[in-house]
Amino acid sequence: MANHLIFYFFAGLAVVSAILVVTVRNTVHSAIFLITTLLATAGIFLQLHAQFLFIVQIILYIGGIMVLFIFVIMLVNLDVALHQIRFNRQWVVALVLALVLAAEVGFALKVGAKGVYLPSGQSGQMEPNTEMVGSVLFQNYMLPFEIASILLLVAMIGAVVMSKKKI
Amino acid sequence: MHNHILSVILFTPLVGAILALFIPRENVNAHRVWGNLFGFLGLIVSLPLLWRFHIGASGFQFKEDVAWIPSIGARYTLGIDGISFLLIMLTTVLGAIAILSSWSAIQTRVKEYYILMLLLQVGMLGVFMSLDFFLFYVFWEVMLVPMYFLIGVWGSDRRLYAAIKFFLFTLAGSVIMLLAILALYFKNGATTFDIPTLLASASQYTDAFRTIMFWGFFFAFAIKVPMFPFHTWLPDAHTEAPTAGSVILAGVLLKMGTYGFIRFSLPLMPTDHVANHHIITIMVVLSLIGIIYGALVCLMQKDMKKLIAYSSVSHLGFCTLGIFALTPHGLMGSVIQQINHGISTGALFLIVGVLYERRHTRLISEFGGLSTPMPSFATVYMIITLSSLGLPLLNGFIGEFTILRGVFEVSKPWAAWAMLGIILGAAYLLWLYQRTMFGPVTNAANEHLPDLNWREHATLLPLVALAFWIGIYPKPLFDVLQQPVKELVERVNPDYYKAERMKIPAKLPAPASSTPTTAAAPATPAVTASAAGSK
Amino acid sequence: MTPYFLDHIWLIPLLPLVGALVMLLFGKRLPNSFVSAICVGLVFLSFVFSVGAVWQLSQMPAEARHFEKVMFQWVPAGPMHMDSGKIVDFTAEWGYLLDPLSSVMILVVTGVGFLIHFYSIGYMGHEGGYYRFFGYMNLFMFSMLTLVLANNMLLMFVGWEGVGLCSYLLIGFYFLRKSASDAGKKAFIVNRVGDTGFLLGLFLTAATLGTIKFSELGDAITAGHFAYGAPALTAIGLLLFVGATGKSAQIPLYVWLPDAMEGPTPVSALIHAATMVTAGVYMVTRMNAVYQMAPLALEVVAVIGAVTAIYAASMGLVQNDIKRVLAYSTISQLGYMFLALGVGAFTAGIFHLMTHAFFKALLFLGSGSVIHALSGEQDMRRMGAMWVKIPTTAKTFLVGTIAIAGIPPLAGFFSKDEILGKTFKYSPALWIVGFITAGMTAFYMFRLVNMTFFGKSRVDHEVEHHIHESPSSMTVPLMILAVLSVIGGWIGWPAALGGSNRFEHWLAPVIAKHGEAMEETAAAHAGSIEYVLMFASVLIALAGIGLARRFYIQDPQIPARLAANWPRLYRLLYRKYYMDEIYDALFVNRGKDLGTTLGAFDRNVIDGLGVDGTGWLTRFTSTVSMWWDKWIVDGLVNLSAWVAQLLSYPVRMLQTGLVSSYALFIVLGALLLLGYYLKPMLR
Amino acid sequence: MHAILDHLRNLLSGDVRLILPQIQLVLFGLGILLTDFLLEKQYKSWNAVMAMLGVGFSGFSLWQLRGAIEGGDMVAFRASIITDHFFIFFGFLFLAATALVILLSVKYLEIEEEHHGEYYALMLFATVGMMFMVQGTDLIVQFIGLETMAISFYILVGFLRRDKRSNEAALKYLLLGGFSSGILAYGFSILYGLGGSTNLFSITSTLDKRAQSIAPAGDLLLLLAFVTVAAGLFFKVAAVPFHQWAPDVYEGAPTTITAYVSVASKTASFGLLLRLFQTAFWPAHASWQMPVAAIALASLTLGNFAAITQTNIKRLLAYSSISHVGYVLLGVVAQNDTGLKGVAFYLFAYTFMNVGAFAVVIILRRKGLIGDELEDLNGLSQRSPAAAVLLLIFMLSLAGIPPTAGFIGKYYIFLSLVESRHYWLALFAVLYVVPAVYYYFRIIVHAWLRKTTDPIAPVISLGQTVALTVASFVVLAAGLYPEPFIRLAQYSLFLPFGHLSGR
Amino acid sequence: MTGAIPMTHYLLLSLALFTIGVVGVVTRRNVIIILMSIELILNAVNINLVAFSKMAGVVDGQVFAIFIITDAAAEAAVGLGIIIAYFRNRETVLADEMDILKW
């Protein structure tokens, strides 16, 4: 039951704060709610026994990315942002279409998952696995890991090139 | 025997074009000389065909066959029969003349001009020589580009519109043809693009498929010819093109359409009587509309070139009419008329070019009474006019007559309707002649126009000579065509030759000078006839 | 061994062709004397060869008088289907056929032609384009000789078109005058209408009989088991006759001939009186094998001929232009010839053709001489009392007039009388028409003579001083022709008057036998009527002459009084039955109205073609076609281009530049894709 | 010392050997980043030389791999990459495109005054990403490869930081690219869920088995995965309706990068698309045929119509490239060997002709003239006949007029459609050549038939000359004598797990 | 571990976050918020991956999620850099004022 409680709590938290991310006027608040969402997701990761990911989520995402975000928001966001209209002109149509898409995907997931064979393996028998993740990451996924380093290098160059006034 | 005469003919202009790239553009006269040299050389190298062509041999001659794209089965296959032989000769002759005619008419971008003219030659010759569908298609499309530029760069006011219209129209037709070619290719197992093979294989297919194929090819050719509802690119293109462009366009390019009909569409006609009849009816009706319609529109034209352009619609209507009569005469007449049209209309465009070069206008109303300052021009112009309107002893008559003969066998009303085109043809051509040449010189600008110079003579007189030759002694043409036409008719109209042969009766002995007859006069011949019959 | 002249028969047409080529290629640089020497000389040579050939032909036995020489195969043989379903090799040779019929023709053509050429030396001496004139004339001789010597219909058509072309060129000889070039064009186009009939007839002949060689026609008919009056043969006859009406100016295609008088007078004499216009008569006679099997066609020929004869004669009654009177007279006489052919009297037709060539050429040349003397005046109301001033012309002209009026023993009497005699046997009604026409002919011809040569002079004063007799190069041909007009008819002296009618016998081998049989039986029955008819026709001719004398010499007020009393009739005749006006009203004026209203019509088109009679209809359809082309066919093309352009903008409008909307499109795309898969699930 | 070398040799003969081309590119990219500091402003072009060297070395290694796999495809890193003909073909294509663009860039960047080593380094990194996209047989490798390429491009597109158009293009590209990557990742997650693995081999075999029990047409999860993955990939190749970034980005980006994005990014994405469509999604091939055909037709329609009235060459070419995507997708729709060959040939031809077309726009750039408007081409045939002729060749090829490579490419697409009996599609495909010719000829009209007011002849640098020569040579050669190039396309055919051969 | 939460719930949670992200992308004007919405989407993907990973009992999904996070970080870094460059030139971060390039 606790399991359920944890899941629904985090799920609810994630969804509600996600909604707030895209609805609130103040960009800083949005960022705060995004952090909340990510934290809630981290909780769900934990509930799914993905401890390593839980850590990564908190440290990397919340610690790194969100600081970056807030930094930029502070940098570029002026007071005017508070008085600006939040949504663009197409928002009604956009909302409807997005919800229709969601309904379609939801329908597909529901119908598709019902009575449909999903490779389950030892379903739910996931032990604490940080170690395992580590070994898999460096054995099976060594190559993507290397590529990811290039990716990050590229991102670094990009961030530098783009934000520096003069290179 | 292995020889490469066709390749030599095909690539001589190309060599000229490529080498011309290396002549500096400022050296205008060098380009003129060079262009003419290779234009003429193109004619010279084609002359050996005249005596080496084997009259009466069946199939294709001078075949060359080299692998080109083995992965798709496309080969570099050339070869000619009587029909393509004549068209190739027409191309080389008109090509040389067209190039010669541009000496002083082209003053800007001379280098590009001659290069494009030579490239155009390659494209056209390739179309008539190719025995491989892929190669054929390549040439068919390639030739659009130089023509586009000839119209677009050296044309008159509305040249951009005309050029792109020309290009798009023809392209639209030919891409559909490409699909038809591909369908044929697959139907035959996707191994070869060999034209004779693919066309021969058509006989095994269902009529429905053949009908689809026919219409697939139809658009490309009908637009090129151009047949009635697809003709509107022609007046624009003709009117805007420079003289040599018009000559080539009318003289050779349009023949690619009729050639296509003869070479490809006819063998693809369904064998089923009803389906066949359907197609023929449509084709004939379109041709007839084209003949009359083109002639009528001619009557309203104020622009000489436009008038001649519409007359082409009318004349080409005769060609397609002859083709779809599916009789030996119709077909032979059609090919001969194609040659004739190349000669006559080519010459007419040269004639307009002569005037245009002097006055820079083509409006009929600007001229009048030119016979006085330009007598030799008047003579040549008159001969060409007469040739175009089909006066006996000139080429046009032979073609039209033979076509009508062939058509008459099949349907008398068709022939009668086509005759209307002949009457109207006389009307608009003579009227044009009258308005430009007769009467007093009303426009002061025309008073001292110089007569033809030697170069203009050199472009026009060969055509006049050809016009007379074909008009007086067309036998060589008929001989060349006899065999291919026979093969074609045997294929598309197999019953044709099976009919019982009629013997022209030997001279009967004259009846006694006074056969006594007591009965009413009408009875007499009947008696005589039956008496002769019983013998 | 073939006799020399027959063997060289091809020289007869070739000689004038050489002359024509020389003239057209180098003529400009040659002096006039050289030009006339070559051209006239060559025609004379041609005449000599003709005489030689005919003489050699006449040496053969009557039945064998048939000589064919094939030069080369012109249109090579190719298989074709006949209407009967059989296959046959169709071919056309370049071959010459000399038989009694064509021999008459070549003699007339080269003989009269030579005289007219000779006459032209004087007449055209002061005109510009002398060489061009002779070049065209020689070209005409070539075409005409090709026409008459052709051994098949197609080659005949070559000549047929060739003479049309020369007619066009020569009518438009004074090309600086718009009326002249208009008239030329009109002649050509009207003839083209007829020519299509000829061509269709030719095709039908080929399709029906399998051959277009004259010498094979008869046998082919026999072999083909055609019934008398077979529809195919009738159709051939009618189609060919359409061609004949064009060339020989019969109703309804006669309209070009009066206008053709725009040409120089020798041209009118040679082409529009003596030779070319009779081509239709010759052709029908040539094809008599077919016609004799097609009674309906013959009937049409007869009726058209008769109606044309009287119709044209009635118009001739009131014309004031000397050449126009002669033109209408020509039409009328041609109508006579067709009447003869129509009633089956082919030899009579050809006979009249020959005599008519003599006297009509004479009359035209005479009128040319008059015009020459009067410095170009053609209106008879400004002539008169010329008898003494130009006596030679006047006398020869009078001979010609008497001949055409049909007074014995001049040529016209014999030929006309033979026609009327044969017509009476065929149909008295037609005879009456012909009979009245004969009277009218005598009347208007003497009206012409009286107005020109007698009475008071009405000539302008300045002109009067210059009146002079023509040079001998012009008068000599007149005299020769006058002699021929007198004696030319004697070779056809009818049996009824104690002659032997050698002409008819000469032509007999050419005329299909059944026809002749019919004639001879008829002749046997009607000996006495013939005298009556002869007498009657002479009488009515005399009456006409008398009337003309009374009207135009004794009491010149009468015509005016008559015109005043019957103004409508007079105007009707004078205005040529309002034919031009009808054309104008039907086509031109309505066209003009519409043209003004629409503002889209080219005035030149309307004037130019409307007068020609091709008419408003052509122009209308032409405009419609043009309009159709511009707005519908082209319009569709441009419309599609326009639509493409138009479509381009909304498509580009989707490209708002807004990221959110782009993202929305991505959502939409995914939504649609997924929706496509879900759709079957929802059912 | 010896031991280290041995170790290295061992390493290089093992799995690493298969990614040697990428490694070399990365090394040279890093080298450029390092040496860039040392180079004075006027010597920046040495960066380009370095980058070319990197491409050269990489190409050499790739060539050696080509020899190595003659015996059979090689997999490495626990089957997360595969070196097969398909990869070799695309790898060379990427290297060729990269090399051409590097050659074109030197002068352009000098004019833009943005000549920095990062530019070349990012190009090389992007190439690495592309190679992994095609080489990868693991969803993660593919995804990371894709992102490496994409992020490099975001930066390159915005490389002209002082140019508002460049900024805007970069931002748009980033936002939309990120969004589409998100969708793609979502699809990958579903795919992972279905296959129980990130490895393409095992996913494919799982899905094959799954197809036995559930008809793929009704397998909504699979189709959901397909839709989301396809949406992401269609975005990358710019197929309607996921195309809208393309015109804006093409217009705003530095022209060299426009050429690069239009060619390399598209080719690589098609490589990935083919890889996935022919393996994991093959069981549902009957289901995706029609929607892909619809997207192809929509791309043809929209691309052609929108291009007709453009006045900016880059934008025009952007729309035209959308229509080219339509043709390539039709080759995918045909689902037969001919179609795949057609796709390969088309992409090959497209690479050279499109780079060539943009190259002509690039050489028009000079101080004070951006040179991307149609008007700027006016009178080019007088100012620079050679450039005008080359432009003509590229336009003819893009339009599909023989004898150029573009024609053979289109020919194969038509052929495959006729072969698979999609006659209506074939008809549409051929007829869309007509509007295409219309707008390509608008470019030709400006270059050849209009008078110019601008008498200055464009100056063509050595690098640009080489690039133009190579591009035009390939375009013409592949049109006149296509045999070797067809072999090349044939060579690229991969028969993943017997799907194609089993048909 | 009694009463395992059905797989579908994770998927739906993920879908909810995904949808909210999509809604954010297509409705918000501020590009920073749009960037955040993209982060939301990637986050949703991660939930999917981890859930599947758990269900399959292998950690591949988690590894995949790590890479997704890496990618998200890289994208955010570059994105924010570009936004700064953009803002420097244009003084705005509103998506609907970003329309120099259109049509």
Residue D503: which pLDDT band, with cuts at 50, 70 and 90?
A: very low
Mean pLDDT of A128-146: 84
Distance CA(C91)–CA(C481), nearest Å, equals 41
* E63 backbone dihedrals φ, ψ, rounded to 5°: -60, -45
Shortest alpha-carbon distance between residue C638 and chain E (Å): 24
For range C132-153, the mean pLDDT: 88
User: Mean of the pLDDT values across residues C63-74?
Assistant: 83
pLDDT tens column, B508-528: 444 433 333 333 334 333 333
The structure tokens listed for B504 are 């022209």
Percent of chain D with pLDDT over 90: 45
Q: Is the peptide bond before B392 cis (omega within 30 degrees of 0)?
A: no
Chain D residues within an 8 Å CB radius of B149: 448
User: Exposure pattern of B101-127 as b/e (b: 16+ CB <10 Å)?
Assistant: bbbeebeebbbbbbbbbbbbbbbbbbb
Q: In sequence order, what are the beta bridge partners of D199?
A: D138
Q: Look at B114-128, C290-304, C403-417, C605-619 and tell me which has the smallest mean pLDDT.
A: C605-619
- Is the pLDDT reported for residue C278 higher than 90? no
D381-410: pLDDT as tens digits: 888 888 889 999 999 999 988 889 999 999
d(CA B160, CA B173) in angstroms, rounded, equals 20
CB < 8 Å to C658, chain A: 88
Q: Do B426 and C189 touch (CB under 8 A)?
A: yes
Percent of chain D whose pLDDT exceeds 70: 98
Would the CB atoms of C681 and A97 count as touching at under 8 Å? Answer: no
Residue B501 with chain C: CB contacts under 8 Å? 86-88
Q: What is the pLDDT of residue B499?
A: 75
Tokens found for residue D421: 């009996």
Q: Is the dihedral of CA C484, C489, C493, C496 positive or negative?
A: negative
Per-residue confidence (pLDDT) for residue B524, from 0 to 100 = 37
In this prediction, residue C625 has a pLDDT band, given cuts at 50, 70 and 90, of: low
C639 pLDDT higher than 80: no
Q: What is the pLDDT of residue C569?
A: 67
Q: What is the pLDDT of residues C506-516, one digit of tens each?
A: 877 777 665 44
Output the pLDDT for position B523. 37
CA atoms within 13 Å, Cβ hemisphere of B200: 9
pLDDT for C588? 40
Q: Please tell me which residue, D235 or A123, carries the higher pLDDT value.
A: D235
Q: Which of A24-38, A40-54, C420-434 has the lowest mean pLDDT?
A: C420-434
Give the strand pairing for C87-98 and C67-81.
antiparallel
DSSP-derived 3-state class of residue D401: coil
Burial letters for C150-160: b for 16+ Cβ neighbours within 10 Å, e otherwise? bbbbbbbbbbb
Name the range with the highest mean pLDDT among C191-205, C286-300, C477-491, D224-238: D224-238
Task: Look at residues B173, B301, B281, B286 and name the one whose alpha carbon lies nearest to residue B235.
Answer: B301
CB pairs B-D closer than 8 Å? 81
Range in C564-573, D139-148, D199-208 with the lowest mean pLDDT: C564-573
CA–CA distance, B222 with D181 (Å, rounded to integer): 50
Distance CA(D449)–CA(B531), nearest Å, equals 79
Q: How confident is the model at residue C396 (pLDDT cuts 50, 70, 90)?
A: confident
All residues at 6 or more sequence positions from C459 whose CB lies less than 8 Å from its CB, including other chains: C374, C377, C382, C383, C384, C385, C467
Three-state SS across B10-60?
A: HHHHHHHHHHHCCCCCCCHHHHHHHHHHHHHHHHHHHCHHHHHCCCCCCCC
Q: Tell me the mean pLDDT in the region C500-528.
A: 62
Compare C601 and C560 and report the one with higher pLDDT: C560
User: What is the predicted pLDDT for the residue at C630?
Assistant: 67
- Mean pLDDT over each residue of chain D, to the nearest integer: 88
Which residue, chain included where needed, has tokens 């798009």? B168
B208, B301 in Cβ contact below 8 A?
no
Q: Which residue has the higher pLDDT, A85 or D484?
A: D484
- The answer to whether the beta carbons of residues A35 and A66 sit under 8 Å apart is yes
The stretch B293-310 carries a mean pLDDT of 83
pLDDT in tens, A15-44: 999 999 888 888 888 888 999 999 999 999
pLDDT of residue C614 exceeding 80: no
**Residue C193: HSE in the Cβ half-sphere, 13 Å Cα cutoff:** 20
Of B261-265, C492-496, E58-62, where does mean pLDDT reach its minimum? C492-496
CA distance E62 to E67: 9
Q: Kindly write down the DSSP assignment for every residue of C188-230, as one continuous string.
A: HHHHHHHHHHHHHHHHHHHHHHS--BHHHHHHHHHHTTPPTT-
From the list B256, B265, B260, B332, the residue with the least C-alpha distance to B484 is B332
Nearest to A116 among D78, D206, D214 (CB): D214
For the segment C154-178, the average pLDDT, to the nearest whole number, is: 84
d(CA B474, CA A26): 94
Token pair for A151: 């990716």
Judging contact as 3 or more Cβ pairs under 8 Å, the answer for D and E is: yes
- Using the predicted structure, report yes or no on whether residue E2 has a pLDDT greater than 60: no
Tokens matching residue C308:
């044309």
Q: Which residue in D345, D252, D329, D235 sits closest to D291, CA to CA?
A: D329
User: Considering CB atoms only, which of C652, C655, C658 is closest to E95?
Assistant: C658
ipTM, 2 dp = 0.86
Does the pLDDT at position A81 exceed 50?
yes
Mean pLDDT of C335-347: 86
Give phi and psi for C399, each to the nearest 5: -60, -45
Cβ neighbour number for residue A28 with a 10 Å cutoff: 15
Chains in contact with C, where contact means 3 or more Cβ–Cβ distances below 8 Å, are A, B, D, E
pLDDT at C591: 37
Helices H, strands E: what count in chain A?
A: 8, 0
Residue C583 predicted with pLDDT over 60: no
For A60, which of E18, E32, E69 is closest by C-beta distance?
A: E69
Please report the DSSP string for A62-124 in residue order: IIIIHHHHHHHHHHH--THHHHS-SB-TTHHHHHHHHHHHHHHHHHHHHHHHTT-----SSTT
Average of per-residue pLDDT across B332-361: 90
Chain E residues closer than 8 Å to A26 by CB:
none
Residue D188 pLDDT grade (very low, low, confident, very high; cuts 50, 70, 90) = very high
Q: Which residue has the higher pLDDT, E44 or B58?
A: E44
Per-residue pLDDT tens digits for B203-234: 888 888 888 888 889 988 998 888 887 887 88
- Residue whose tokens read 């999860």: D221
pLDDT band of residue C632 (cuts 50, 70, 90) is: low
Largest Cα–Cα separation, chain E: 58
In A, which residues are within 8 Å of E57 by CB distance? 120-126
pLDDT, residue C637, reads 67
* pLDDT value at D324 more than 60: yes
**Between D15 and A103, the higher pLDDT residue:** A103
Contact of chains B and A by CB distance (3 or more pairs under 8 angstroms):
no
- C284 min Cα distance to partner chain B (Å): 19
Of all residues in chain A, the one with the smallest CA distance to C672 is A101
Number of residues that make up chain A:
167
Cis peptide leading into D241, omega within 30 of 0? yes
Residues 42-101 of E with CB under 8 A from D: 42, 44-45, 48-49, 51-52, 55-56, 58, 60-61, 63-64, 67-68, 70-71, 74-75, 78-79, 82-83, 85-86, 88-90, 95, 98, 100-101
What pLDDT sits at residue D178?
94
